[in-house]
Amino acid sequence: MTDYKKFTILYVDDEAENLDSFKLLFLNNYHVITTESGQKGLEIIENQRNSDQPVGLVLSDQRMPKMNGIEFLERIKSIDPDIIKILITGYSDIDVIADALNKVGIFHYINKPYETTNITNIINKGIETFNLRQENRKLIDELR
């Protein structure tokens, strides 16, 4: 069984209120890190990589200045393809969703405002998927 409280989630959104709300909702369930920019998010992922709590799941808003969500998630994919990537947006743009699926391989797409139970279920499924990927990687390494 997964201890979700030890699992590190990074949420990137340029609106501080969204970050505060997310942190308040989920701080007791997961190890939550938030930031207001994609560039800071990349720095956090790099800094956490060799720690005892590396980032395993990232939620990113799509519409942010300087680096949008898809660009940010693409950069994460090149750093660590196993990190679970979830795109959150308040806009229903089918082209954005298609790009997120095709270019980034997102795990899920969530519309704002999100329902707490729904996003919790998506995050927990993402954590389970991440853990399965890690287990598969270990088993493959052992077979070699």
Helix axes 38-48, 69-79, angle to 10 degrees: 20
CA gap 84, 56 in Å, rounded: 6
* Pairing between β-strand 84-89 and β-strand 108-111 as defined by DSSP bridges: parallel
Sheet-wide strand order for 108-111: 31-35, 8-12, 55-61, 84-89, 108-111
The pLDDT of 37-45, averaged and rounded, is: 96
Which pLDDT band, with edges at 50, 70 and 90, does 1 fall under? low
Q: What is the pTM of this model?
A: 0.91
Which residues are CB-neighbours of 35 under 8 A, at least 6 positions away? Answer: 10, 11, 12, 19, 41, 44
Q: What pLDDT, on the 0 to 100 scale, is given for residue 2?
A: 64
pLDDT in tens, 83-142: 999 999 887 777 777 777 777 889 999 988 899 999 999 999 999 999 999 899 899 988
CA gap 54, 20 in Å, rounded: 21
Q: Over 60: is that where the pLDDT of 62 sits?
A: yes
The pLDDT of 33-40, averaged and rounded, is: 97
